[in-house]
Structure 1
């Protein structure tokens, strides 16, 4: 047995493999529907004229929102297991910043209303880098 094999196997005799933690929500849709949407209560203008909070009922049609909300869900699933400050950390470091971006007037839901999906945002323009720059 060489040094790497020996060092990686030493001390592992007492390590008991833990079963994976069972998720509360099976996916991001369940998380948004059952936990997040009922938790967040904001005055929304059904016509989307509000300059305070913007939301799209079809949030799942916005790639950025899906990505952000999936991260929020995964962080919640992990931090809920911390019985001390887990939920406080989740609110302060994850929920509040994420929802602030999603609710922004010119954020991912810009142009949409709580009743209608009408996005105004466009993808960022790009120019290809010079050939060989990242090789």
Structure 2
């Protein structure tokens, strides 16, 4: 029988501080979003056409990208002829907007968001501004193409120069789509600006 005085004491249970748990949860959520987004890219790189249309019982924000794997040019497949988000509708638009939102929240804003100011407004409800949705979606499409390995080593530089810089200039300009929205983080605001009314053909004499 062993001597109780020589037995090693049991180690005290290890506890992770609550603030560290919050950080781990945030990191896990961000990683899961990135994994979902990588799924979008893999879907769009697929070359085999779908056989029978199936329903995925697990909802995911990248569902809109699946029918577009073979619809990268006009006349291919039975899906929409355009990959541009404004050409989509209904559930397809909603799913594409959800995937775009992941990219905006987890890549665009953390890296390129920059501080909100009177000369650089922003709107948390950007998805309600059609121009913002259009510009961010176009930027996202270019990002997927130009950060792919097939784009070559200069692809990311081209994306910054030809796409990101131009989008930031127009999207966050003082007279851009967010002109009436938040100009100070302490005073969030959202308002859609009126646009010119369409003219009917032959109305102008």
TM-score of the alignment, normalized to the shorter chain, above 0.5: yes
Structure 1: stretches of 5+ with no match in the other structure: 1-18
State the shift of 1:99 in Å.
1.3
Query: Match for 1:102 among 164, 168, 171?
Result: 171
For normalisation by structure 1, the TM-score amounts to 0.69
State the shift of 1:30 in Å.
1.0
User: Equivalents in 1 of 2:113, 2:189: separation in Å?
Assistant: 19
Deviates more, 1:67-76 or 1:79-88: 79-88
Query: Match for 2:138 among 62, 68, 71?
Result: 71
Give the equivalent residue in structure 1 for 2:191.
118
User: Equivalents in 2 of 1:63, 1:41: separation in Å?
Assistant: 19
For normalisation by structure 2, the TM-score amounts to 0.47
Structure with bigger gyration radius: 2
| 4+ runs deviating over 2 angstroms | none
SS where residue 84 of structure 1 aligns?
A: coil
- 2:124 matches 1:57: yes
User: Equivalents in 1 of 2:175, 2:152: separation in Å?
Assistant: 36
Give the equivalent residue in structure 2 for 1:4.
none
Structure 2: stretches of 5+ with no match in the other structure: 1-42, 47-60, 63-98
State the shift of 1:72 in Å.
0.5
User: Equivalents in 1 of 2:44, 2:108: separation in Å?
Assistant: 24
CA RMSD of aligned residues (A): 2.1
User: Equivalents in 2 of 1:41, 1:116: separation in Å?
Assistant: 17
State the shift of 1:74 in Å.
0.6
Which protein is richer in helix relative to its size?
2
State the shift of 1:20 in Å.
4.1
**Higher RCO, Cα 8 Å, sep 6+:** 1
